[in-house]
Chains A and B, each alone.
Chain A
């Protein structure tokens, strides 16, 4: 599918000199759900803000729907909905008025039926005449989402949508996201919860210290996740893989151990064969460990390698 958002060589230095983004390249496909995974301070909000026009990029180019976000900002921004990380709302205004305001601000004609649908989807219809400052934190977050959806975005950014959110809202939110996905809306969500990325994303991008470390299909990541490692410590550490064991695609560990990867979901793990071939090659075992690699490991690995 075509790319709806492209980010090329994006850099951002804040006025205090801090470089929050360092040569970021990212292509987001139309209709996908992309999770932008990264620790606090990794640059997720800065990246989103640069795409949406809230911070000025230091250099680089961004397009949304083929429109440059600076020279073609009107066309680009009309496609975008943003749910910010912080709860920023006019405290004294009624819920429905702030949502109508968002729609108008984005240049869309009044459409009360659409506003009602959005409010109902987010269980806000009963609260439509409440003032924002009478709402609970979770309700306010719903209002932020309603504002973004009021102008029918084709690309929706959710910045840390589940931070401090109750189960009820999370369920509502993912139901809405699922429906948007069916309508072909592209969704980008930032999170530092790996489970969240795992649960709903099609692809996962990992960002650390202002750099994108990886962008991969979730399925491919899960494939790695389904794999186990067996670390075979030998009486005498090896430097090369013996000829007899070549077909097992072994790795050599830092301490001269052998590492075997196998799929627990496969019919055969190949462990029995390997062990007998090890004996045949004249290697003596000292110890054996197995462990499951998780997305968390992959993530931590990536981030540490970078450090």
Chain B
């Protein structure tokens, strides 16, 4: 195992993150604050409670998930797309590093950045609403696993993308709708029965539900399913990445 290579990639990528730290952190903090003002204060004042939790607090896990998912995908996809775009990929391809090591370096760095952002949003939320986290260890576990698995997805998208449009299209057209429709801002029990069933095919439902359970102890789907779904999702991403490096898909001419 070339741990040195993983560390080198991680350090290099984190250096990019810290170069752009202000814009990385300011924009999610700002948009989260806006969500709280709009949903929490304005609309939330008309909604009593959801499953015994005030609406302002109820949307906190969903808001964190929304940012973390979008950030993970875009950080990781950009992280590997950029070397392809500027040509520095030659060095990765000619290095004595396996796909596991290269992926680990990029994915860990992308996941670290989105984890930082997730925690910053959680901190911001404390400013607006009272939250108590019932299962802090599970909360962190869900958060970290989500960062990692969606960074894996982002990594795949970054390798697949042939231009900047494609790079931005997937997060825009797939990830954002899945998150909004995944119960970030409502309990899926509020939906008509047909939609409840359809929603169960949305992987984000399991994430948000599990994550919310770690906060409030209530969930839309059972916690076991949440863990299973995220594990399955991670494994599928890993298999795809393994295949990409084996065949050189979109990497090696």
Q: Which residues of A contact B (CB under 8 A)?
A: 14-15, 49, 52-56, 73-78, 80, 82, 84, 86, 88-93, 97-98, 100-109, 147
Q: Are B252 and A107 in contact (CB under 8 A)?
A: no
A89 interface neighbour in B4, B86, B252, Cβ under 8 Å: B86
Q: Can you list 9 residue pairs at the A/B interface with Cβ under 8 Å? A: A52-B93, A55-B253, A78-B96, A82-B91, A88-B90, A93-B12, A93-B16, A101-B8, A101-B9
Q: Are A105 and B9 in contact (CB under 8 A)?
A: yes
A108 CB to closest chain B CB (Å) equals 7
Q: Which 10 A-B pairs have the closest CB atoms?
A: A104-B8, A88-B87, A77-B96, A52-B94, A74-B96, A107-B2, A55-B253, A101-B12, A78-B96, A105-B95
Q: How far is the CB of B163 from chain A (nearest CB, A)?
A: 18
Which of B87, B90, B253 is the one whose CB lies under 8 Å from A82? Answer: B90
Asked whether A86 and B91 contact (CB < 8 A) given A74-B96, A107-B4, the answer is no
Closest residue on chain B to residue A12 by CB atoms:
B253
B88 CB within 8 Å of chain A: yes
Q: Is the CB of B175 closer than 8 A to any CB of chain A?
A: no
Interface residues of B in 71-107 (CB under 8 A from A): 82-83, 86-98
A105–B88 touching, CB < 8 Å: no
- 8 Å CB contacts to A: which residues of B1-59? 2, 4-5, 7-9, 11-12, 15-16, 19
Q: A54-B253, A56-B252, A107-B5 are in contact. Are A84 and B90 (CB under 8 A)?
A: yes
**In whole angstroms, how far apart are the Cα atoms of A169 and B86 in the complex?**
24
* Given A88-B86, A101-B11, A80 contacting B2 (CB threshold 8 A): no
| A109, B93: Cα distance in complex, Å | 20
- Chain A residues whose CB sits within 8 angstroms of the CB of B94 once the complex forms: 52-54, 77, 80, 82
- Which residues of B have CB within 8 Å of A92? 16, 19
Give the residues in chain A near B4, CB-CB below 8 Å: 104-105, 107-109
Query: Do A103 and B8 form a contact, CB below 8 Å, given A73-B96, A74-B2?
Result: yes
Q: Is the CB of B15 within 8 A of A55?
A: no
Question: Which residues on A sit within 8 Å (CB–CB) of B11?
Answer: 101, 104
The residues in B between 81 and 136 inclusive whose CB is less than 8 angstroms from any CB of A are 82-83, 86-98
Closest to B94 in A: A52
B217 contacts chain A at the CB level, 8 A cutoff: no
Residue in A75, A84, A103 whose Cβ sees the most chain B Cβ within 10 Å: A84
Q: Is the CB of B96 within 8 A of A106?
A: yes
Give the chain B neighbours of A98 by CB distance below 8 A.
12
Quick one: closest A residue to B12, CB to CB? A101
B248 within 8 A of A: yes
Measured between beta carbons, the chain A residues less than 8 angstroms from B86 are: 88-91
The residues of A that contact B7 with a CB separation of less than 8 Å are: 104
Decide yes or no: A54 and B93 within 8 Å by CB, A91-B86, A104-B4 being known contacts: yes
Chain B minimum-CB-distance residue to A109: B4
On whether A105 and B97 interact (CB within 8 A), knowing A14-B253, A15-B253, A93-B15, the answer reads yes
14 new A-B contacts at CB < 8 Å, known A106-B95, A108-B4:
A49-B253, A53-B94, A78-B96, A82-B90, A84-B87, A88-B88, A88-B90, A93-B12, A97-B12, A98-B12, A104-B11, A105-B8, A106-B96, A107-B4
Question: Which of chain B's residues have a CB closer than 8 A to the CB of A82?
Answer: 90-91, 94
Q: Which residues of B contact A97 (CB under 8 A)?
A: 12, 15
- On whether A54 and B90 interact (CB within 8 A), knowing A97-B15, A105-B8, A105-B9, the answer reads yes
CA distance A171 to B67 in the complex (A): 53
Give A88 Cβ to nearest chain B Cβ, in Å.
3
CB-defined contacts of B83 to chain A, threshold 8 Å: 90
Cα-based distance from A84 to B253 in the complex (angstroms): 15
The reply to whether A55 and B252 form a contact with Cβ atoms under 8 Å apart is: yes
In the complex, which residue of chain B has the Cβ closest to the Cβ of A69?
A: B94
Task: Tell me which residues across on chain B come within 8 A of A89, comparing CB atoms.
Answer: 86, 88
**Which residues on B sit within 8 Å (CB–CB) of A103?**
8
CB of B103 to closest CB in A, whole Å: 14
Q: Are B253 and A86 in contact (CB under 8 A)?
A: no
Cα distance, A97 to B14, chains bound together (Å): 12
Given contacts A56-B248, A89-B86, A97-B15, contact A107 B96 (CB under 8 A): yes
Given the complex, which residues of A lie within 8 Å of B91, measured CB to CB? 82, 88, 102, 105, 147
Closest to B105 in A: A105
A147 — which chain B residues lie within 8 A by C-beta?
91
Among residues of B, the one whose C-beta sits closest to the C-beta of A87 is B87
A45 CB, nearest partner CB in chain B, Å: 11
| Nearest-Cβ distance from residue B78 to partner chain A, whole angstroms | 13
Contacts of B16 in A (CB 8 A): 92-93
